[in-house]
Amino acid sequence: MAHTPQELRDRTKAMAIRIIRLFRALPSAKEAQIMGTQLLRCGTSVAANYRAACRGRSRAEFTAKLGIVNEEADETVFWLELMIDTAVLPPRRMKPLLNEAHELAAIVTAAYRTARGK
């Protein structure tokens, strides 16, 4: 299924908003806050860098920015998995966000490979 740039901007922004809300709900335990901060940085970065990629002035700039989105999306999945595995919040609260992060990471990975010609 093809995704328009606007659809992906909307989805990445919606994920960033969900991550911000999740961060606000984290327990005050130090490890939860540290993992949450990492998640907050990479999860919101996906949306910001995707928007920047869409404004790329050349194919090379678009591809480079999309590479950053790809890395940040994968890191977002990692922190969500780690938070689930360490029971920071109940899995039922985090699984839908993890599923969306997996989907977006897969979409971005495919787009990045296409942009690189691989």
To which H or E segment does residue 66 belong? helix 59-85
pLDDT at 2: 61
pLDDT of residue 54: 93
* Contact present, 12 and 20 (Cβ < 8 Å): no
Rounded to whole angstroms, the Cα distance separating 84 from 90 reads 7
Cα→Cα distances 26→34, 73, 80, 82, 83, Å: 10, 21, 12, 14, 10
Per the rule left: phi > 0, alpha: psi between -120 and 50, beta: everything else, 96 is alpha
Residue listed under structure tokens 């606000």: 24
CATH topology of domain 5-116: de novo design (two linked rop proteins) (1.20.1440)
The string of DSSP codes covering 10-51 is HHHHHHHHHHHHHHHTS-S-HHHHHHHHHHHHHHHHHHHHHH
Residue 3: per-residue pLDDT: 82
pLDDT score at 1: 56
The predicted model scores a pTM of 0.93
Q: What is the pLDDT along the chain (118 residues), one digit of tens a residue?
A: 568 999 999 999 999 999 999 999 999 999 999 999 999 999 999 999 999 999 989 999 999 999 999 999 999 999 999 999 999 999 999 999 999 999 999 999 999 998 888 7
Domain ranges for the chain = 5-116
